[in-house]
Structure 1
Amino acid sequence: MGVGGKFWELLKPYARREGFDFLRDKKVAIDLSFWIVQHETAIKNRARNPHLRLTFFRTINLFSKFGAFPVFVLDGTPSPLKSQARIARFFRFSGIDTSTSTGVEEGVSKERNSAFSKCVDDCVELLELLGMPVLKANGEAEALCAQLNKDGHVDACITADSDAFLFGATCVIKCLRPNSKEPFECYNMSDIEAGLGVKRKHLIAISLLVGNDHDLNGVQGIGLDKALRFVQRFSEDEILNRLYEIGKGDVLLFQDRVRYVDDVIPCSDESSPKPRQSHCSFCGHPGSKTAHSKFSCEYCVTANSVGCLKKSQRFQCNCLSCDKVRKENDQKKHENWWIKVCNMIAVESNFPNDEIIEMYMGNNHRMFTEDGSLLAWGDPKTELVVDFLAYHQSWQRSFVRQRILPMLSTMYLREMARNPNKTLLVGQYEFHSIQRVKIRYGHQSYVVKWKKAISGELSCAVPVERSNMQEEECTEVDDEPVDLLDDSIDPQIHVDGCCILTDESPALVCLAFPKEVVKFIQEKELKEMKRRKTSMIKSEGSSEMSELSKPQGVQLSITEFYRSTKIQSQAKPGEDLAKLSYNPGDGSSKQKRKVSSPNLSKAVRRRLFFG
């Protein structure tokens, strides 16, 4: 949708991949119809009411995980041209020939179908319960998103309609992938201007030539590349005026301007080269073949200076006359191309369409006050959200409360950063400590521990009639099967008895609880120092350990084992030989072998053995 042709492919080289903190503390306008269509296409027939499911999860993520302030924009009453184009697109996709249809332009309904309108109403009701601002445009939703962006009310807009640039948007986020290191595919108008050399009015002219949501056909025979080449020849101030001139049939006036702008043919004077002279058919240089057969020309250099070299298959002469002829041919080709494009434009009736240009250039998509009072974010009505999703999605109430908790904790931290006080999170949890630093998809977050307040404080802060609901919030629930499209796994919440753990932004936690963050950083540094010191001591002790002081229970090798037993069985040095030969009556060979020693001579051992 938007500009015809593969317009997004043209802008693809100038896209930026932005990280998690790109939208932190920024306002962003969202085309709600784009979200609904995207959700229905992605997980249709795979989940119950996918438009409510993903609107809920993405709103929670956008508000808490990415720290943005979302503003949702609805489509108003479409223009008659948009309604006719919508019917024509339906007939085209259905294979119906509209050339013989007489009722395409008559009796066209300006409203969406009832099923889509019901999806929009359901999402609006959910968003209002979550406290998100919802605006309705006079016409197109992307037009109001672009106006909010252009006037500075929001910092970016999320839509897949490329004509948001035509309405004046300066920053458009086309794709949102939460489970990646760089979740935002962002297009800045400044990058497009620097890369393609076109501005807002140039893009409007391109949409008029190739087609748009209000005129699907455009100019017959002109594609995106041809339209881009055409509009690049003019400045932003004159491009639309030139289209008016060509549309009126002033092609000859425009042809003279093209010849003057290109200026590729030098002015004729006495020093200009003569018309192209005859060339040799053998070498291809100026002159005759007969003359070149006897002596080589000045362009050919041979060893014996007899004859010229035969020209190659793709030979091109670079003499002055040939160069002039090539420039004249290029100029004629260029002029013919421009005349052909101008004739294509001139034959179109009612071109350019003033209504489409006024629609793109207008700034009356909705009136705003200077202070932007319509953009206000309120507190979510938790109980009504729980009832709404329990009815429409058949979710357990504890599951809904657990999933909405990141939004509540983010709002609590923002309020504490603005006005520190002793209020409790959801009326019963107080900030306890920072457990650790968590890194996911290259993004750091603090795992914050919230502890349930004591009964005395709890009874003062929480009404009695809500005590049952709050007790249920502490219960642990089973998560639904994880789907990459519903983003329900981020941010994560862990329930542990009377404590809960949530993933929070380090910058936001630092603003809300600066002392606790400093304490956590100091404790982390102290633990790191102890760990390094312990590792150094272990490394030094292991290097000083001798080989003999091996731990018990380790099996020795066979050589080490027999070496140790042999040393124990050897006789002690200095032992008296008489003691060894005592008890002469005992002449057994075993006893003699026991007293034998390798330190005795062979003759002595023989006497001991044989008496």
Structure 2
Amino acid sequence: MGIKHLWTILAPFCERKPLYELEGKTVAIDLSCWICEAQNITDYYVQPKMYLRNLYFRTCYLLLMKVNPVFVLEGKAPELKYDTIAARNEIQFKGAKPKKDTIRTGKDRSRFNFVLQRCEEMLSIMGLACITGKGEAEALCAYLNEDKLVDGCISQDSDCFAYGARLVYRNFSISQQGVHASSGGAVDVYDIQKAIESLNFGRNKIIALAILCGSDYSDGVFGIGKEAAMKFFENVSDEDALDRLRSWKTDNKLYDDFYKQLNNKNLCTACGHPGKIHTHTKSGCKDCKLTKGCDSSKFKDKRLQIKNEVNMRSKAIADSHFPNEELIREFLIRKENVSKLDLKWKLPDMINFIKFTTKHLQWEPIYAFEKFLPILTRWQLINFELIKSSHHKLKGILSPERIKKIRNPKGVQSYEIIWCDKEGHYNNIIPTSQLTDVNLEKLWSTIEPQEMVCKAYPDLVEAFEKSKIKPKKPPKRKKKPKEPLEDIENMLANTSISEPKSKKKKNKKPQAMANCKTIDTFFKKAILNNAETKRVLDEDQLNNVENKIVLNENSFNLDASNFGDEDDIDLSNIVEDIVNRSPPKYIQENLDKLGYNQAVIDDKIQVDMSESTFFISRAVENDLFEKSMHYISGSSDEELEVLEDPLETKENVIINDTENTNIKSKNADDSYSEEYIPLLTRIKLKM
């Protein structure tokens, strides 16, 4: 919207500022821009008449930020803008065909004016007045800014600068997202004074840019863009810009000379003096007073500027309407003058607002009440003197009941106030069905700045401050101080001279791993099994003594771990039977062949049997089990001799007394004469 490329040219001078910097300022708002933004939303099912919703919340934000908004409505559109209006109507009101397909229907603002009337109706309910201009709304905003009746203009239309605006606020947003979410919104600030100081780019050049590149009123000159226009403005002052464009059609002689100068092949293109550039490069230029080359520092840039202007002129004069004087008059000639502004904020109307939003926005009454209450209470805080002087004449005034707590929204010290309707202005305004499960205290509460509350309701603040003061607690009875002698006697009486008992440290047993049996458990089980076996053997031994059978106690005294050979006792008869069997014939035949006599073999066996015991008395060789243990532990035979204690020989006496059935185990006759070291002990010594 507006003049083409103007926002791009002014972009280096733009500043993004938070909205709280507008506090205390008066701004003129081009209402048509806000409406057009909302009309671009295609999904109307989410919120019908989105322009009304956006207008309300933006206006509330400005009022609560202590900004004085002045809404400016569109007047009669200039004829230059009819084509643009027709194109916009097709976009904004697509799907809504006009009743009569006439030329006027597509080019006037009948449908758009209907939207403006709805906005004006809602603003009047909020207590705000609107101004309707005779022409464009941005023109009236610019006039107010030029006359310093407002501090700036909120508009998306760059035409404001062509109409004379000095400060324009663009891209207004109250969004709670993005970089400026913490500040509650932001706006782009464009100050034309910065562009004037930096580029000498003022109002006349802006109008010239609209003529050359195009705007809402014309399409501009075909073939001329931003770069060509800005190069042209570099050598033209702001005051002479429009006259220079007019001279393109009037001063033909000047531009004919420029054209001849550019096409003269006898002039050097580098310095502009007579001669050709390749001649000057070799032998120099007399006019430049150089023996080699020429001075191109001045003429070369000037020649490019002349060439650019001549090319632009040739394209512009092809248009019979160039320069568009009607467009120049639209921007330069004022249509109206405003000497005063009625900025008085009137009492908002709660009841009519609920009716209006229920009809046009489909808001529920309780929702409309909740959104409108802060506007009504803020108006009361600003106009507290008016309320005191004419309280009975005003209808719909609320009374503050109490201050609930201190609040600090966005760092602003505030009070949360609970309001009440003492006069019953709003009884039955909200249906009872909507009040179920609703916190009425929260519904009637608002957050107001402390500064404003202290001015409007000082008694309320004083009562709140008193309620915060906690009563002093009564002092506790002090104990009478005891005499020094009594203190010493009590200390001696309570002092113990005896040595304090030392606490025994409990040895914490290490916790066994879950589902993991230790080796001690295995050995313990083996020892228990061995004890049970010994008990059974003792009983059998007693029975054998009765039967006059000589038994040796130590022959069954198995101190070794139970490795599953306890069943050998039951197999002794079987083994003895096998040993006593005579060898087969083929063994005897083989022995005879080898030269072994049976008598000699029997004598050898008899000697071996007499010397053989379960426990070896002379460890000449280690059996297979002992060798395996030595291999695992890495010990030698010498180490084994050190570990083993010398064995003592005892005489075993067998008492065979039929009258005395008691057996003396220590003197009993055994089949061995040395004490056995248990296998468990020997294993532990090697580990």
Asked if Structure 1 and Structure 2 have the same fold, meaning a TM-score greater than 0.5 normalized by the shorter chain, the answer is yes
TM-score normalised per structure 1: 0.63
Q: How does 1:237-256 map to 2 (within 5 A)?
A: 237-250=239-252, 252=254
**Pair 57,88 (structure 1): closer, same or farther in 2 beyond 3 Å:** closer
Q: Secondary structure at the match of 1:71?
A: strand
Indicate yes or no: 2:343 matched with 1:391. Answer: no
Residue identity opposite 1:158 in structure 2: I
Match of 1:491 in 2: none
Match of 1:61 in 2: 61
Match of 2:663 in 1: none
Match of 2:428 in 1: 468
Q: How far off its partner does 1:191 sit?
A: 2.3
Q: How does 1:425-440 map to 2 (within 5 A)?
A: 427-430=397-400, 432-433=402-403, 435-439=405-409
Residue identity opposite 1:338 in structure 2: E
Q: How far off its partner does 1:350 sit?
A: 2.3
Asked if 2 retains the 8 angstrom alpha-carbon contact of 1:449 and 1:499, the reply is no
Indicate yes or no: 2:505 matched with 1:566. Answer: yes
**Deviation per CA, 1:390-419, whole angstroms, max 9, x where unpaired?**
122222212111101121122111113788
Match of 1:342 in 2: 313
Match of 1:278 in 2: 282
**Pair 195,418 (structure 1): closer, same or farther in 2 beyond 3 Å:** farther
Q: How does 1:77-226 map to 2 (within 5 A)?
A: 77-87=76-86, 109-112=106-109, 114=111, 116-178=112-174, 179=176, 180=181, 181=183, 183-216=186-219, 218-226=220-228
Q: Which has the larger radius of gyration?
A: 2
Equivalents in 2 of 1:230, 1:499: separation in Å? 63
Equivalents in 2 of 1:204, 1:144: separation in Å? 17
Q: Secondary structure at the match of 1:503?
A: strand
Match of 2:447 in 1: 503
Residue identity opposite 1:223 in structure 2: G
**Deviation per CA, 1:90-149, whole angstroms, max 9, x where unpaired?**
8999xxxxxxxxxx99768541253x3432222221112212111221111111111122
**Deviation per CA, 1:353-377, whole angstroms, max 9, x where unpaired?**
111111101222x443x3334x443
Q: Secondary structure at the match of 2:357?
A: helix
Q: How far off its partner does 1:431 sit?
A: 6.4
Asked if 2 retains the 8 angstrom alpha-carbon contact of 1:81 and 1:214, the reply is yes
Equivalents in 1 of 2:328, 2:460: separation in Å? 57
**Deviation per CA, 1:471-513, whole angstroms, max 9, x where unpaired?**
98995888xxxxxxxxxxxxxxxx6538844233455446545
Asked if 2 retains the 8 angstrom alpha-carbon contact of 1:408 and 1:425, the reply is no
Equivalents in 1 of 2:430, 2:301: separation in Å? 80
Q: How far off its partner does 1:244 sit?
A: 1.1
Residue identity opposite 2:55 in structure 1: T
Q: How far off its partner does 1:172 sit?
A: 1.1
RMSD over aligned Cα atoms: 4.4
Q: How does 1:423-572 map to 2 (within 5 A)?
A: 427-430=397-400, 432-433=402-403, 435-439=405-409, 443-452=410-419, 459=422, 462=423, 466-469=426-429, 497=441, 500-505=444-449, 508-509=452-453, 511-512=455-456, 565-566=504-505
Match of 1:372 in 2: 341
Equivalents in 2 of 1:34, 1:74: separation in Å? 10
Q: How does 1:282-321 map to 2 (within 5 A)?
A: 321=292
Residue identity opposite 1:229 in structure 2: K
**Deviation per CA, 1:40-86, whole angstroms, max 9, x where unpaired?**
2236322122122212222212212x221222222112111110344
Q: How far off its partner does 1:197 sit?
A: 2.3
Q: Secondary structure at the match of 1:276?
A: helix
**Deviation per CA, 1:333-370, whole angstroms, max 9, x where unpaired?**
33322222232233332222111111101222x443x3
Asked if 2 retains the 8 angstrom alpha-carbon contact of 1:445 and 1:504, the reply is no
Match of 1:550 in 2: none
Equivalents in 1 of 2:315, 2:102: separation in Å? 25
Equivalents in 2 of 1:341, 1:224: separation in Å? 12
Equivalents in 2 of 1:465, 1:510: separation in Å? 26
**Pair 89,121 (structure 1): closer, same or farther in 2 beyond 3 Å:** closer
**Pair 320,189 (structure 1): closer, same or farther in 2 beyond 3 Å:** farther
**Pair 345,91 (structure 1): closer, same or farther in 2 beyond 3 Å:** farther
**Pair 9,320 (structure 1): closer, same or farther in 2 beyond 3 Å:** farther
- Gap regions ≥5 residues in structure 1: 94-103, 280-285, 287-318, 479-494, 528-562, 570-611
Equivalents in 1 of 2:433, 2:208: separation in Å? 57
Number of corresponding residues: 445
Residue identity opposite 1:56 in structure 2: Y
Residue identity opposite 2:352 in structure 1: L
Asked if 1 retains the 8 angstrom alpha-carbon contact of 2:151 and 2:167, the reply is yes
Residue identity opposite 2:211 in structure 1: L
Q: Secondary structure at the match of 1:190?
A: helix
Q: How far off its partner does 1:238 sit?
A: 1.6
Equivalents in 1 of 2:164, 2:292: separation in Å? 51
Q: How far off its partner does 1:38 sit?
A: 0.6
**Pair 450,251 (structure 1): closer, same or farther in 2 beyond 3 Å:** farther
Equivalents in 1 of 2:461, 2:292: separation in Å? 80
Equivalents in 1 of 2:281, 2:19: separation in Å? 69
Q: How does 1:13-32 map to 2 (within 5 A)?
A: 13-32=12-31
**Pair 465,510 (structure 1): closer, same or farther in 2 beyond 3 Å:** closer
Match of 1:12 in 2: 11
**Deviation per CA, 1:253-273, whole angstroms, max 9, x where unpaired?**
69779x9xxxx998999xxxx
**Pair 514,16 (structure 1): closer, same or farther in 2 beyond 3 Å:** farther
Asked if 2 retains the 8 angstrom alpha-carbon contact of 1:72 and 1:133, the reply is yes
1:231 to 233, 256, 278: 233
**Deviation per CA, 1:181-218, whole angstroms, max 9, x where unpaired?**
251212122222234321111111111110111102x1
Q: Secondary structure at the match of 1:566?
A: coil
Residue identity opposite 1:143 in structure 2: A
**Pair 565,433 (structure 1): closer, same or farther in 2 beyond 3 Å:** farther
- Gap regions ≥5 residues in structure 2: 93-100, 262-268, 285-289, 471-501, 509-687
Equivalents in 1 of 2:386, 2:24: separation in Å? 14
Asked if 2 retains the 8 angstrom alpha-carbon contact of 1:84 and 1:105, the reply is no
- Structure showing greater relative contact order (alpha-carbon pairs closer than 8 Å, 6 or more residues apart): 1
**Deviation per CA, 1:442-495, whole angstroms, max 9, x where unpaired?**
x43344222346xxxx65xx2x564334998995888xxxxxxxxxxxxxxxx6
**Pair 466,229 (structure 1): closer, same or farther in 2 beyond 3 Å:** same
Equivalents in 2 of 1:42, 1:506: separation in Å? 39
Match of 1:356 in 2: 327
Residue identity opposite 1:468 in structure 2: N
TM-score normalised per structure 2: 0.56
Residue identity opposite 2:54 in structure 1: L
Equivalents in 2 of 1:195, 1:520: separation in Å? 56
Q: How far off its partner does 1:435 sit?
A: 2.7
Q: Secondary structure at the match of 2:416?
A: strand
Equivalents in 1 of 2:326, 2:16: separation in Å? 36
Q: How far off its partner does 1:567 sit?
A: 9.0
**Pair 151,346 (structure 1): closer, same or farther in 2 beyond 3 Å:** same
Asked if 2 retains the 8 angstrom alpha-carbon contact of 1:131 and 1:377, the reply is yes
Residue identity opposite 1:436 in structure 2: I
Q: Secondary structure at the match of 1:191?
A: helix
Equivalents in 1 of 2:467, 2:425: separation in Å? 41
Match of 2:551 in 1: none
